[in-house]
């Protein structure tokens, strides 16, 4: 009975949290602010503790998750309706490098030391503070970087080159299996794919670990 109860409560808690995540939207997962972090911890604790408490049933779990989810949802509505509440509940971005100079006070407010800052800059392909004109510490803890013009890569506009359409690559084979949605998206069929494989001396889809299609390029194939 104990294992059966845990199974049912775990499944119910999983479904409740999944539905809640769908209702709140993807931004709650990607842009994890301090408030969202606390919310995630509490939701996890509510479900986790309830699983091993004999006196807590499914209705208790559902009520707790539903109540906390409602509070999060209401908070999001408040921040969207009343702009002044955003800085309190979600925080606000802060400029930590301004015109190439480190802003020590802003770094202190954000509890950010130099090692952490350099780590965040490296994640943006920036390996020196001297390359940065502006850096902004976002509310989710990431850093947005605007490099000095001397360190920025030239664009087609800078080089006076004609503009080209952006081409999105499609994964056609993943771990020996055809991605039918992608194949349909590019307007091709299985016969065409087999012919492309033969061109590169591949006899079967099962031999392909990954295949990627990009317009005006040969099919990229990597075997096992």
Task: Tell me the per-residue pLDDT of 203-220, one tens digit each, with 9 for 90 and over.
Answer: 899 999 899 998 878 889
Q: What is the pLDDT, as a whole number, of residue 132?
A: 92
Radius of gyration of the chain (CA): 25
Give the tens place of pLDDT for each residue, 38-52.
666 666 666 666 666
Q: Beta-strand (E) ranges in the chain? A: 94-98, 101-102, 132-137, 143-147, 170-174, 177-178, 208-213, 220-223
**Residues whose CB falls within 8 Å of the CB of residue 5, separated by 6 or more in sequence, listed in order:** 54
Residue pair 31/139 in contact (Cβ under 8 Å)? The answer is: yes
Both structure tokens of 37: 């972090």
Both structure tokens of 94: 């802060």
Q: DSSP 3-state assignment of 180? A: helix
Structure-token match 């199974």, residue found: 7
**CA distances from residue 96 to 48, 89, 125 in whole angstroms, order as listed:** 38, 21, 17
Percent of the chain past pLDDT 90, that is, above it, reads: 21
Q: DSSP 3-state assignment of 137? A: strand
With a cut of 70, say whether residue 188 has pLDDT above it.
yes
With a cut of 60, say whether residue 147 has pLDDT above it.
yes
Q: What is the pLDDT, as a whole number, of residue 27?
A: 45
Give the tens place of pLDDT for each residue, 70-117.
777 777 777 777 767 666 666 678 899 999 899 988 888 888 888 888
């Amino acid at each position: 009975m104990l294992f059966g109860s845990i199974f049912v409560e775990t499944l119910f808690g999983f479904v409740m949290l999944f539905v809640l995540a769908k209702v709140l939207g993807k931004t709650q997962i990607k842009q994890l602010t301090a408030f969202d972090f606390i919310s995630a911890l509490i939701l996890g604790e509510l479900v986790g503790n309830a699983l091993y408490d004999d006196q807590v049933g499914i209705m208790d779990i559902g009520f707790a998750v539903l109540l906390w989810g409602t509070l999060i949802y209401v908070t999001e509505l408040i921040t969207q309706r009343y702009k002044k509440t955003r800085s309190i509940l979600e925080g606000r971005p802060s400029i930590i490098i301004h015109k190439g100079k480190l802003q020590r006070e802003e770094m202190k407010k954000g509890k950010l030391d130099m090692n952490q800052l350099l780590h965040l800059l490296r994640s943006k392909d920036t390996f020196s503070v001297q390359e940065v004109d502006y850096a902004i510490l976002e509310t989710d803890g990431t850093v947005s970087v605007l490099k000095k013009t001397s360190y920025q890569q030239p664009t087609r506009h800078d080089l006076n080159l004609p503009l080209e359409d952006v081409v999105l690559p499609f994964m056609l084979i993943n771990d020996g299996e055809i991605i039918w949605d992608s194949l349909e998206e590019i307007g091709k069929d299985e016969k065409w794919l087999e012919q492309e494989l033969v061109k590169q001396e591949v006899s079967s889809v099962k031999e392909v670990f990954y295949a990627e299609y990009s317009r005006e390029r040969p099919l990229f194939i990597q075997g096992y």
